[in-house]
Structure formats: structure tokens, C-alpha cells
Structure 1
Amino acid sequence: MKFDADRLISRTPLLWASFLRDWNRSLRAADHPATTRYNYLLAATQLCGFLGTFDTVRGDGRRDPLAVTKADIERFQVWMIETRSASTALNKHKSLQQFFSWLVAEEELDVSPLARVRQPRKRKKLIPIINVDETRKVLDTCDRRTFVGVRDEAIIRMFANTGARLSEVADLQVDDLDMSLDTALYHGKGGKDRKVRFGPKTGRALGRYIRMRSQHRAAQLPCLWLAEKGAAHLSDNGIQMMLRRRGQMAGVERLHAHRWRHTYAHEWKRAGGDTGDLMVVLGWSSDEMPRHYGASAAAERAQETQARLRIGEDV
């Protein structure tokens, strides 16, 4: 997926665009990843567009980001919650905090309009894990006689076998694989790289794909995953669409990459694996993440522990 910040900025009024270009330059200088910069800028341009709705009442907010008020931000958050979700509204809140904090640091503003705006409360959704039988059904839809089938099997096995994020698998380069040591180098959030091992079945699936990939018209591209037609990279959005299609074919509802990530965390905990090691393998820096991931299966693990400990049974 191409994150075209300049195109986003060009859609805003002149004064907004001027500030956003300067902010984007500052973000680049701080080495923020392209995805982070794009999401930050997207939130600011969405706020600008939203304020345009009130041009007939008070249009200065759309023309000038320095005129944005607390009420504007609260109205924008309500709109995000009603048209998207509380989770999306929270993400926009955090992005806008960065923008207006930068304006304060640049001495363009004395106080951020978000200074006294409460964050939207995010409802915790339990993401169901995906069991072995469901994964097999999805893999069974992949025809190894075709390029797409071989490619999709390799992608799915990478998710199931390593618990990686969608963006990490999508961004793999050919050189990120070491087929001698059976390792992949993932480029995680915040520019944090990590090396993970994959198993024999995943290694064989990758080997089949690499051999078939060498005959593709776009074989010279550095990106690992290639689109079926043309000389193009298979984007993260393309992988999302592929998983949705494979899920429908297999009769597995709500199939997406993060279900395997949650499953990986669940199975790791179930096997008694160390939480610190799990954080390293999955690229987490916050202690909150191990509690969140696999939470939908926590009751199952608790019941298994209860049965194993037999508390009160020896009386």
C-alpha cells in the first residue's frame, strides 16, 4: 500500500496544507515510519474536512488550524464514534494530540485544543482465536498447481506459524528470508526489527512459492509477495482481501490476520511459555499486550489449569 502524504495534504486549504507539510517534515526528521506519518496526517485532514461542514456558521476552523476549538474536537469525536467506532475515534484523538502538541512546540499555539478533551473510551472486543481445523480448511482452498494458491498458502502459514502482524508479513522482502536457517526478518512497529523462526511446513510452502515466483514476470522486484497479474507488489490490503475470500470459501467467518496472532499468544500461554519470550517473538514492548492477546481464550486456559491442579479433590 502506498502512503501518499503529499496527496493527502494537497486536499486541504492553503493554510492547513502549509502547517501539515511542515509537520510532515518534522515527523520525517524524527524518523517516524511512513504508516505512522500517514495516519497522523489523515486524522488532521479528516478534521479539516469535517470542519468544512460548518463553514456557513464558523468557517475559520477549516481555513486555519490555529482557530480549532475544544468544541470542534468534541464534535469531531462524536462524529467519528457515530460513523466509525469508538476505537477509530480514539486513534484520531491520539493523532490529533500529536499535531496540536507540535503546534504548541512550534509556538504557534499557547495551548492545544485537546488539552481538556477526554479520550473516547475504547470498548474491549474479544477477538476469537482460530483453531487448527479452521486453519486447515482455509489452507485446503489453496490450489498448489497455481501461482496464487502456492503464494496464499505460504502467506497463511506465515501468519499461523509466526503470529506476525499483517503489515509485517506484507512488507517482507525476498532478502528478509534465510531459507538455510529457516528464519524471517520482520520489520515491526516503530522501526523495530526482529528475527523469527518458521517451521518445516512453512519452509516447504515458502520454498514452493519462491521457485514459482522465479518464473513470474515481476521476479526482479525486491518485495516477496507478488500480485497474480502485472509487475506489482501484493499489498497489505490485497492480503486482507485474499484472507476474506479464502475464509468465505472455507466457511470460516471473520477471517483476518490478527486472529492467528491471538491464537499464537493463546497457544504459547497454554503451553506454559514465558511471557517475556512471547513479547520478544511477537514484537511487543508493552506488558498490556500479552494480557490483551488471547484474552478470548483465557477462560479455557483457566479451566484447564483448574482441572490440572485438582484443588479440593484430595480432601
Structure 2
Amino acid sequence: MTLLTGMKNAGWAGLLRDWDRSLRAGNHPETTRYNYLLAAVQLAGYLVAEDPDSGGARDPGLVTRRQVVAFQAWMVESRSAGTALNKYKALLRFFGWLVEEGEVACSPMVGVPMPRVGQKLVPIMTGDETRRLLAECQGKEFAQVRDQALIRMYCSTGARLSEIGGLLVADVDLDTESVLLHGKGAKDRRVRFGPNTARALSRYLRLRGRREGAAEMPQLWVSVRGMSPLRPAGIKVRLKRLGQAAGVEHVYAHRWRHSFAHEWKLLGGNEGDLMLLMGWSSDEMPRRYGLSAAAERAQELQLRFGIGERF
């Protein structure tokens, strides 16, 4: 894991490598492992900067509850409560693993309050915004063709950043215009995409296939230079840059996920089917997604039903 490469703190680095090995043995996805390790690495960096003489700065087994609380407060203030909650969950797992390994008798997470997060309304990606982003990718250069396919895949499937970003060439079936997505909890599902997306993806695959080394690269998305994979973190950066060029603010894959749920509901789609397509196991999720456009859906239905206009 590149996060640990060059980490100078031997006490932290050794245990984090062992933890990563344990996560891999448990078949945790690469994105999940990265986020877990990132939280621990950030805690280590925080302690080195803010409390360098403490035992916790040298050894995760010596981290105190007070230090975790201070780190969490810093996360809330410098990032957000939602980010702090993600770090809290990751550190719960890390220190729980240290207890299992006999490195500590008690987790310093005991008594640390879980950050309270208010419900954040994620704005849907409008049709106009998507069209502007696609217009920014018009052309025959490799990056333009690839980015067209990427945007259409997110828009057409409503999949997560990591699900599209982690695709293999073998996951795509152009005959059935479908893709095998590898979701959270090692749950796979097959999702269809439309003809415009299939055409964009076919163009990309043809262009990709002409590059030297393409046959040996299993990952679907590749960087402009060489034949190295374009991973979810790189896609995230690329989408942000495309948004800046197109004059569209806050471009990230999750907005298309909300848009997909919004359009599905607007057209009268069944919520149970939506859960299957989106890879959800909780019936709370359909209510949460597309919530920012709930009033728009209600107004559309009001006009369609014609309530009060039949007299």
C-alpha cells in the first residue's frame, strides 16, 4: 500500500502493514483498505505534529483516549463531521485489531464519542451540467474518449466511484450492454447501460486496445501516459478538473448516483428494484438518495395527477 511507503515511524509502519495484511486476508476491497489505513496514518501524523514527545507519536499501542478525542475534534474543525465519523469508524477497527493481536489491553476508542452528523443534502447532477462536462470531452484524443466513457458510465449506471473506477475489462459485456459491478461487502451485481454509453465505451476500448501493453492490463481505465491503471482517486481528481474547465462546480461521481435515484423515482420506478440496481441492503437508502430534489418530484407528480383541476 503506497500510503505506508516511506513512512518513517517504524512503530506505526510495522503494525499498519500487519493490519493491511489482515484486511487483505479478510478480502476487504482495496478502497476500503486504503480508507482504513489513511485514518490511522493521519492520526499518526497528527500526533507527530501536535504531541511529538508522547508515546502515542511513536507507538500506536501507547495512544490515549485523550489523543484520539483531540484528533477527532481537529478533524471536525478542519474537515467535516462526516469525515470525522469515517475516521472514527476506521480507528475503531484498527484499535480493535490491536486488542485482538494482544498489542493493547484496552482500545483508546472506549469512551470516545461518535461524531454526530446532520443530514447533508447532496445536489443532483442536472442534465445541463452533464452535457457541459461531456462537451468538454469532445474530441478524438485518448483522454477525451476515455473521459466521455467514464462520465457516461457514472451517469447511466448510478454506480459508486470505486465500482466504476475498479472495473476490469472482463467486467464489461458490450453484447448485453451491461457491466458487472463489485460493490461493498464483496457483493457483485450486473447493471445495464444505455446505447449512448455503450457507443462511448466501445470507442474507448478500441482506442485502448491499440496501445502497447493493453492486452496485459486487466484494469479497464488507464492513464494517458503509459499503461498504468487510472484508479478511483485519479478519477476523482480528473472529474474535478473537468468541472473546473466546464464551469461546473462540485463535480464528483456521487452526484450522479443521487441523480440516478432521483430520475428513477420521478419516472415511477419501484424502490425495491432501485435497491438492487444501486447495491443497497438497507431500505433507508432509497429515501436518502435524491432527497435534494424531492420537492421537484412532488411538483411533477402534482401536475401529472391534476389534483383540483377536474372540476
TM over 0.5: yes
- Unaligned 5+ runs, structure 2: none
Distance 1:29 1:235 in 2: 22
List per-residue Cα deviations over 1:23-58 (Å, max 9, x = no partner). Answer: 3332222222222222222222222222224546x5
CA RMSD of aligned residues (A): 2.3
**Does structure 2 retain, via aligned residues, the 8 Å contact 1:218–1:226?**
no
Structure 1 counterpart of 2:2, from 1, 4, 7: 4
Distance 1:284 1:303 in 2: 27
Residue 158 of structure 1: how far off its partner (Å): 0.6
Aligned to 1:246: 242
Counterpart AA for 1:252: V
List per-residue Cα deviations over 1:121-153 (Å, max 9, x = no partner). Answer: 223321111222221222122223322222211
Aligned to 2:199: 204
List per-residue Cα deviations over 1:54-89 (Å, max 9, x = no partner). Answer: 546x51222333332221111111111122221111
Distance 2:76 2:255 in 1: 24
Distance 2:50 2:255 in 1: 41
Aligned to 2:62: 67
After TM superposition, the structure 1 stretch with the greater mean CA deviation from structure 2, 180-189 or 39-48, is 39-48
The answer to whether 1:145 aligns with 2:140 is yes
Residue 250 of structure 1: how far off its partner (Å): 2.6
Going from structure 1 to structure 2, the CA distance change for 1:210 and 1:18 (only over 3 Å counts) comes to: closer
**Does structure 2 retain, via aligned residues, the 8 Å contact 1:13–1:62?**
no
Residue 182 of structure 1: how far off its partner (Å): 0.9
The answer to whether 1:19 aligns with 2:27 is no
Counterpart AA for 2:94: F
Aligned to 1:124: 119
- Unaligned 5+ runs, structure 1: none
List per-residue Cα deviations over 1:172-193 (Å, max 9, x = no partner). Answer: 1111111111111112222222
Going from structure 1 to structure 2, the CA distance change for 1:163 and 1:103 (only over 3 Å counts) comes to: same
Aligned to 1:78: 73
After TM superposition, the structure 1 stretch with the greater mean CA deviation from structure 2, 68-77 or 261-270, is 68-77
Residue 288 of structure 1: how far off its partner (Å): 2.6
Q: TM-score, with normalisation over the residues of structure 2?
A: 0.90
For the residue of structure 2 that corresponds to 1:195, the secondary structure is strand
After TM superposition, the structure 1 stretch with the greater mean CA deviation from structure 2, 42-51 or 100-109, is 100-109
Distance 1:18 1:217 in 2: 38
Aligned to 1:47: 43
Amino-acid identity (%): 55
Structure 2 counterpart of 1:295, from 259, 268, 291: 291
Residue 195 of structure 1: how far off its partner (Å): 0.9
Distance 1:186 1:254 in 2: 25
Distance 2:97 2:148 in 1: 44
**Does structure 1 retain, via aligned residues, the 8 Å contact 2:236–2:252?**
yes
For the residue of structure 1 that corresponds to 2:5, the secondary structure is helix
Distance 2:223 2:265 in 1: 36
**Does structure 2 retain, via aligned residues, the 8 Å contact 1:4–1:38?**
no
Counterpart AA for 1:179: L
Aligned to 2:26: 30
Aligned to 1:217: 212
Counterpart AA for 1:11: K
**Matching of residues 155-234 of structure 1 within 5 Å:** 155-220=150-215, 221-234=217-230
Counterpart AA for 1:289: M
For the residue of structure 2 that corresponds to 1:126, the secondary structure is coil
**Does structure 1 retain, via aligned residues, the 8 Å contact 2:31–2:162?**
no
Counterpart AA for 1:12: N
